[in-house]
A and B are shown apart, each in its own frame.
Chain A
């Protein structure tokens, strides 16, 4: 990536796509639960050319995986621009800032600031959590490193300061619903450049959320990428509906996933039909997102199913992707 210039904050490909008013596409790349860099290179090869950038998750669902910065550097070396996810669960302000300096030195330019899933969900429920800061404060800190040229404590950074394109998340389906557009506004006020939302399956409810966001004018302060993702099985749909707090999967989506495999005896054929329906629903939702005022792009979360992303992007009519930095 080039150093920031021409009015860009970070100069990342994602920033350039969004700043130029183009409908952006990002995806997610889940690092492995081991130290095999080849996994990242393979997944990066799948996503390259189909998305502006890919989020590298940070110990998602509180399960230990290859670090987002380590995996992000590997993705970047493979020609895929990463968005480094950083949660407040595992590191305090010292750890986070030092990792940000390292990430920038490695050439990484996008970051997504998250609170993080609680550690009781993961494979080390005995762990002590940190939460020295919350996601809003993390946004402020990363923006401060860039725009104020100082550390969180106020001390000046002597030499190269990290200049990231700063993202945050918001869950339009979290409670209290009435507060969510304001909380999004707070993230914009903290200095977030872009937002990626939680997975959207309940489109009417998301429309209502966006209407309120637009009424507040927040969509003009921050680029909002709608979170979408293909369902693999009816079971996954039901699990998300019933077991994942803050997820909203309407009954009709579950019913469609169930209907897709009905009457098919062959297990492989049944699974294929269900996956196909999952992709179809995802493409339909993307089409609907493109019609909603204030939506600047989509963030495709195909969890441990990166292969689905090129198909989805193609079927949604989002190819070819714009290239600014000549690396995608």
Chain B
């Protein structure tokens, strides 16, 4: 899932500026499961903003709505009237959700209420960890199902570096050394031969380095006439 965290209240208030009518738009997908921008968080943030702006002596009209999936335009059509009535729209979606709203409603002022952090999973109650960097060319088949692009601080393809100590990364004792994990996994599976080969330099064109990415599936595209 996409994991995000709410911005500090003061930063959100700064982004909203002088706007009098504010619509908070929550999202029912990833950010709901990571407790950052679902219906519940939208409600809590709404109350906070109402109370806080009243205390500041500049009371604002804050309402909330949560859509099932903020990253698809069709789910945003249902809130057309709410969006157009607001002076400012505070998105509690991930960065994709914020942009989907801004693209669907070019006249609306859309600001982010979250910082989108990474693609990952909950590893224990209240703890999420990164797992995928969307490099566009998956190598997990060679690395025991553990991604060194997302999980090694230096994105090494022939690790571990000299800073690996007691299973931890040199950057922080909070970070597991991805290459220690890869080594242990492949050893346990009797597949250490995979590590004997030198992995060549990665072709980063499939990653962000190749420019903004796009996928076109001709088999799924609609004929031109039907697009309108």
Q: Which A residues have a C-beta under 8 Å from some C-beta of B?
A: 88-89, 93, 115-118, 120-121, 129, 131-137, 140-141, 152, 169-171, 174-176, 179, 182-183, 186, 189-190, 198, 245-246
Chain A residues in 8 Å Cβ range of B195: 179, 182
A222 CA to B164 CA in the complex, in Å? Answer: 23
Chain A residues in 8 Å Cβ range of B184: 176
Which of B166, B199, B204 contacts A175 (CB under 8 A)? B166
Q: Which residue of A lies closest to B153 (CB)?
A: A118
Q: A120-B171, A179-B183, A246-B163 are in contact. Are A186 and B196 (CB under 8 A)?
A: yes
Which of B156, B160, B201 contacts A174 (CB under 8 A)? B160
Q: Which residue of A lies closest to B184 (CB)?
A: A176
Which of A118, A133, A176, A245 contacts B201 (CB under 8 A)? A133
Contact A93 B201 (CB under 8 A): yes
Please give 19 more A-B residue pairs, beta carbons under 8 A apart, in addition to A137-B199, A140-B198: A89-B154, A93-B201, A115-B154, A118-B163, A131-B154, A131-B155, A133-B201, A135-B161, A137-B198, A152-B201, A169-B162, A171-B161, A171-B162, A171-B163, A175-B167, A179-B195, A182-B196, A245-B164, A246-B163
Q: A189-B198, A245-B163 are in contact. Are A134 and B156 (CB under 8 A)?
A: yes
Q: Is B180 part of the binding interface, using a Cβ–Cβ cutoff of 8 Å?
A: yes
A189 CA to B166 CA in the complex, in Å? Answer: 27
Which of B155, B166, B196, B198 contacts A136 (CB under 8 A)? B198
Contact B183 A176 (CB under 8 A): yes
Chain A residues in 8 Å Cβ range of B153: 118
Chain B residues in 8 Å Cβ range of A115: 154, 156, 161-162
Chain A residues in 8 Å Cβ range of B171: 118, 120
Chain B residues in 8 Å Cβ range of A245: 163-165, 168-170
Q: Which of B159, B161, B166, B204 lies at the interface centre, i.e. has the most chain A CB atoms within 10 A of its CB?
A: B161
Contact B201 A137 (CB under 8 A): yes
A89 CA to B153 CA in the complex, in Å? Answer: 11
Taking the closest CB of chain A, its distance from the CB of B133, in whole angstroms, is: 12
Chain B residues in 8 Å Cβ range of A179: 160, 183, 195
Chain A residues in 8 Å Cβ range of B169: 245
Taking the closest CB of chain A, its distance from the CB of B179, in whole angstroms, is: 8
A176 CA to B166 CA in the complex, in Å? Answer: 8
Which of A93, A131, A176 contacts B180 (CB under 8 A)? A176
Chain A residues in 8 Å Cβ range of B170: 117-118, 121, 245-246
Contact B156 A246 (CB under 8 A): no
Chain B residues in 8 Å Cβ range of A121: 170
A286 CA to B167 CA in the complex, in Å? Answer: 30
Chain B residues in 8 Å Cβ range of A135: 158, 161
Contact B158 A136 (CB under 8 A): yes
Chain A residues in 8 Å Cβ range of B156: 115, 131, 134
Q: Is B108 part of the binding interface, using a Cβ–Cβ cutoff of 8 Å?
A: no
12 contacts between A and B (CB under 8 A): A134-B156, A134-B159, A137-B198, A140-B198, A175-B165, A176-B164, A176-B180, A176-B184, A183-B158, A198-B162, A245-B168, A246-B164
Q: Which of A131, A134, A137, A171 lies at the interface centre, i.e. has the most chain B CB atoms within 10 A of its CB?
A: A134
Contact A174 B165 (CB under 8 A): yes
A137 CA to B197 CA in the complex, in Å? Answer: 12
Q: Is B141 part of the binding interface, using a Cβ–Cβ cutoff of 8 Å?
A: no
A115 CA to B160 CA in the complex, in Å? Answer: 10
Taking the closest CB of chain B, its distance from the CB of A85, in whole angstroms, is: 14
Q: Which residue of A lies closest to B167 (CB)?
A: A175
Contact A246 B165 (CB under 8 A): yes
A136 CA to B195 CA in the complex, in Å? Answer: 13
8 shortest interchain CB distances as A-B pairs: A171-B162, A245-B170, A136-B158, A245-B165, A134-B156, A174-B162, A131-B155, A115-B161
Q: Is B177 part of the binding interface, using a Cβ–Cβ cutoff of 8 Å?
A: yes
Q: Which residue of A lies closest to B200 (CB)?
A: A137
Taking the closest CB of chain B, its distance from the CB of A100, in whole angstroms, is: 15
Q: Which of B158, B164, B165, B167 lies at the interface centre, i.e. has the most chain A CB atoms within 10 A of its CB?
A: B158
Q: Is B15 part of the binding interface, using a Cβ–Cβ cutoff of 8 Å?
A: no
Q: Is B65 part of the binding interface, using a Cβ–Cβ cutoff of 8 Å?
A: no
A174 CA to B153 CA in the complex, in Å? Answer: 16
Q: Mark out the residues of chain B between 182 and 222 whose CB falls within 8 Å of any chain A CB in the assembled complex.
A: 183-184, 195-196, 198-202, 204
Chain B residues in 8 Å Cβ range of A89: 154
A189 CA to B195 CA in the complex, in Å? Answer: 13
Contact A132 B183 (CB under 8 A): no
A311 CA to B167 CA in the complex, in Å? Answer: 38
Contact A132 B164 (CB under 8 A): no
Q: Is B157 part of the binding interface, using a Cβ–Cβ cutoff of 8 Å?
A: yes
A198 CA to B153 CA in the complex, in Å? Answer: 20
Chain B residues in 8 Å Cβ range of A171: 161-163
Taking the closest CB of chain A, its distance from the CB of B136, in whole angstroms, is: 15
Q: Which of B154, B159, B167, B183 lies at the interface centre, i.e. has the most chain A CB atoms within 10 A of its CB?
A: B154
Chain A residues in 8 Å Cβ range of B180: 175-176
Q: Which residue of B lies closest to A120 (CB)?
A: B171
A254 CA to B170 CA in the complex, in Å? Answer: 22
Q: Which residue of B lies closest to A185 (CB)?
A: B196
Contact B201 A170 (CB under 8 A): no
Chain A residues in 8 Å Cβ range of B155: 131, 134
